[in-house]
Structure 1
Amino acid sequence: MINHRLSKTGLAACLVLLLAAVYSTLAFPQNEKESLLKPFSTATSLAPEWEELKFPNIDRLTRYTLVTENGQQAVMASTDNSASGLIARIRVEPGEKLMLRWRWKISSVYENGNARRKSGDDYPARIYVAFEFEPDKAGFFERAKRQAAALVFGQELPGNALNYIWANQLDKGTLVANPFTDTTMMIAVESGNDKAGQWLSAERDIVADYRRAFGAEPPAIVGVAIMSDSDNTGASARAWYGDVTLTREHR
């Protein structure tokens, strides 16, 4: 998901930095089934709840537009050797069970997409969940690096992240570290072209996934993003995102 002018590590750093930039704090609604994210289906515009997420030195941006699909409003992403996303900046304590649900559809996966290789780290559709950095669990060099970044940018960087991806080669359910950083774990929710062109529904227990990915309890969530990117593979695709909902539930 990069062009030749920006390393994948640099892109990941930019992403977490942008996720950290002055996010709004959301209180849990009275109804625990009510989503903490604004639904696309009832939006008259994407802003201000969903902001464009751009990366330095990447000139070609993915286009996100509200469209109507089968009578339902959704977001269509068009990516062509490009990379950018839409982010909702939030702060949510996960509790014992936090469910992320969404609907999505893609035109196709990328021929050269490969979640295990830097050169193939592109996805026609993904949901990105970023978590608060926990300094007491980090090593000296990690803390020093983040302190330096805070001095330069004036922001504290988030920590670990989960990426729910529509993969090319991974089997569904596979969990792998991002090829650029083991602080981001990739989970293949869908894979391959067999169901391309179909609307599919997905749900994930973020708390359970974090425990599986990192072997620990999750800290606060500081951002949720949708992203379709293709600038590393140079490919093109379209993706559609239905409502992305986040609800706290009891086991």
Structure 2
Amino acid sequence: MKKFLYWMLLCLPLLSWAESGRVDIARFSQSDLSGWQTKVFAGKTHYVLKNNDGKIVLHADSKAAASGLYREIKIDLGKTPILNWSWKVDNILVGNNERTKAGDDYPVRVYVVFSGGLAFWRTRAINYVWSNRQPVGSSWPNAFTSNARMIAVESGSKRIDQWVSERRNVHDDYRLLFGEEPPHQVDAVAIMTDTDNTGGAATAWYGDIWFSEQ
């Protein structure tokens, strides 16, 4: 079992709250890492809060390593289906086929996890990634498990070293990727910068993450 399978075996019973149609997942700009836990797969990606472009963000540095941060938090998709975040990459990985196990590395990715509860085989995940060559908007099954789907929300080197803001309707993405209505709630969100399969290196930055009504 590798990468996504570890997320999928989590039983996720934790926090849930919303204020004014917004649910904060990551408040890195407030120097807040509370609630975030580490999962190491193969070597350790180093995550640390730093000042970048005048704001506090999370810096990720990965060298032939794969570890991620995750937060267990229940999100009602009926109320707040829109996932918002920002990220920046200093480089992309080059030459890897991300549809294969040997190439399943990304400078940045944001996971949304839906727990299957006792039926753990029903646990699913959407991975929003910055691809090296898959077209923006394209999707494909994860190389290690069919229960995870990848979506390229950014691709290539054109926007390297730029802060990019993203918005995704998780409810609609789940329905498109898995061909059915999503569970009522999200159970966890995770981030990972990983380079273990390719043996490469990547540095990247993550801004705040939250769910909203619109």
TM-score by length of 1: 0.79
Q: Hey, what's the Cα distance between the residues in 2 that align with 1:50 and 1:112?
A: 32
Q: 1:25 aligns with which of 12, 15, 40?
A: 15
Q: Which residue of 2 aligns with 1:5?
A: none
Q: Hey, what's the Cα distance between the residues in 1 that align with 2:69 and 2:137?
A: 24
Deviation at 1:114, TM superposition (A): 2.1
Q: 1:49 aligns with which of 31, 35, 49?
A: 35
The 5-angstrom pairing of residues 92-241 of structure 1 reads 92-95=75-78, 98-133=81-116, 146=120, 159-219=123-183, 220-241=185-206
Higher helix fraction: Structure 1 or Structure 2? Answer: 1
Cα distance change on mapping 1:23 and 1:54 into 2, 3 Å? farther
Structure 1 stretches (4+) deviating beyond 4 angstroms? none
Equivalent AA in structure 2 for residue 238 of structure 1 = T
2:23 match: secondary structure: coil
Q: 2:45 aligns with which of 62, 66, 69?
A: 62
TM-score by length of 2: 0.92
Q: Are the equivalent residues in 1 in contact too, given 2:107–2:204 (CA < 8 A)?
A: yes
Q: Hey, what's the Cα distance between the residues in 1 that align with 2:211 and 2:79?
A: 14
Deviation at 1:199, TM superposition (A): 0.8
Cα distance change on mapping 1:125 and 1:197 into 2, 3 Å? same
**Structure 1 residue 12 and structure 2 residue 4: aligned?**
yes
1:123 match: secondary structure: coil
Q: Are the equivalent residues in 2 in contact too, given 1:66–1:75 (CA < 8 A)?
A: yes
Q: Are the equivalent residues in 2 in contact too, given 1:114–1:167 (CA < 8 A)?
A: no
Equivalent AA in structure 1 for residue 198 of structure 2 = T
| Superimposed CA distance per residue, residues 60-93 of structure 1 (whole angstroms, 9 cap, x where no aligned partner) | 2000000011111100000000011111111122
Computing the radius of gyration from Cα coordinates, the structure with the larger value is: 1
* Percent of paired sites with the same residue: 37
Deviation at 1:10, TM superposition (A): 3.4
Point out where structure 2 has 5 or more consecutive residues left out of the alignment. none
Q: Hey, what's the Cα distance between the residues in 2 that align with 1:51 and 1:96?
A: 26
Deviation at 1:23, TM superposition (A): 4.3
| Superimposed CA distance per residue, residues 165-211 of structure 1 (whole angstroms, 9 cap, x where no aligned partner) | 00011000001111221110000000011111111111100001011
Deviation at 1:112, TM superposition (A): 3.0
Q: Hey, what's the Cα distance between the residues in 2 that align with 1:35 and 1:189?
A: 22
Cα distance change on mapping 1:23 and 1:51 into 2, 3 Å? farther
| Superimposed CA distance per residue, residues 28-56 of structure 1 (whole angstroms, 9 cap, x where no aligned partner) | 32x11x3331411012x42x32121223x
Figure out how many residues of one structure are paired with residues of the other and give that number: 213
Deviation at 1:160, TM superposition (A): 1.1
